[in-house]
Structure 1
């Protein structure tokens, strides 16, 4: 039935992050072109995004082992798994938007790299976009690791009974 799937949480597909990357890139280009002089971007976003990506990647590995009931791990509580999925989805959406925005900024100033300010803005925007890309990958991996594996002993039951 179509009504049964309404309350289910669906995995993040490729369309929404791709749309957010494009929208972010458009915003980055428009903002960069609208400013008469570019201010220097803070570089602190780069290590922040990298630390978030590292933390989510580490959490994803631990969560996957706990969901699969591997030896030496304790089972994960369903509410904890739901919170991790919410974190992963929010991180994926934010990282998509940030990736597009900073890539758009880097693309806009890429033709003026002879000027020191534009070169610094370009490098900061480029590395921030790359860091956001790593966060996006880690968030999608965390979301993937929160999936419950199918039980082989229930293979003969119809999907509605599971």
Structure 2
């Protein structure tokens, strides 16, 4: 299992945004109100992932220099990578969705009162989805072994 590529996540964001915009355009009148609290659960998950990333990074660094409570179990690190990858993909899809909703409601703020009320919530939800993607990529980065070379590094320079 390799690291999640940012270009693949960007493609997922674009695909979800395009499909989401078509869906929003067809069904916006049936949407419930979008409040500023709508996407805040994503921020909670992002904070949890980032905190776990700092913990994993500290434990790996402590084990490398021989201090602290020792190493993390390899399965715990593998599960963390799996959670990070899944969270990055889900965050990318949800980010695409909220970009689609924002792209629909922002130009209509002056003509639709509902769109004006939904705009702040859609933008905040999009930012929270972006925070989820960033936190997931951070956790994935923190799970790398200190012996791992960056994936683009040349093993035999010269």
TM-score above 0.5: yes
For residues 73 and 20 of structure 1, the distance between their equivalents in structure 2, rounded to whole angstroms, comes to: 39
User: Can you list the C-alpha shifts for 1:120-154, whole angstroms capped at 9, x where unaligned?
Assistant: 22221111110000010000000000000118xxx
For 1:143, which of 116, 140, 144 is the aligned residue?
A: 140
For 2:82, which of 76, 82, 86 is the aligned residue?
A: 86
**Aligned length in residues:** 144
User: Can you list the C-alpha shifts for 1:9-30, whole angstroms capped at 9, x where unaligned?
Assistant: 1001112101110011112210
Aligned positions of 1:61-100 closer than 5 A: 61-68=54-61, 69=63, 71-100=67-96
Q: In structure 1, what is the equivalent of residue 151 of structure 2? A: none
For 1:41, which of 30, 34, 45 is the aligned residue?
A: 34
Which structure 1 segments of 5+ residues have no match? 1-8, 152-158
Q: In structure 2, what is the equivalent of residue 60 of structure 1? A: 53
CA RMSD of aligned residues (A): 1.8
Q: In structure 2, what is the equivalent of residue 128 of structure 1? A: 125
Deviation at 1:31, TM superposition (A): 1.1
For residues 79 and 16 of structure 1, the distance between their equivalents in structure 2, rounded to whole angstroms, comes to: 26
Which structure 2 segments of 5+ residues have no match? 149-154
Q: In structure 2, what is the equivalent of residue 101 of structure 1? A: 97
For 1:16, which of 4, 8, 11 is the aligned residue?
A: 8
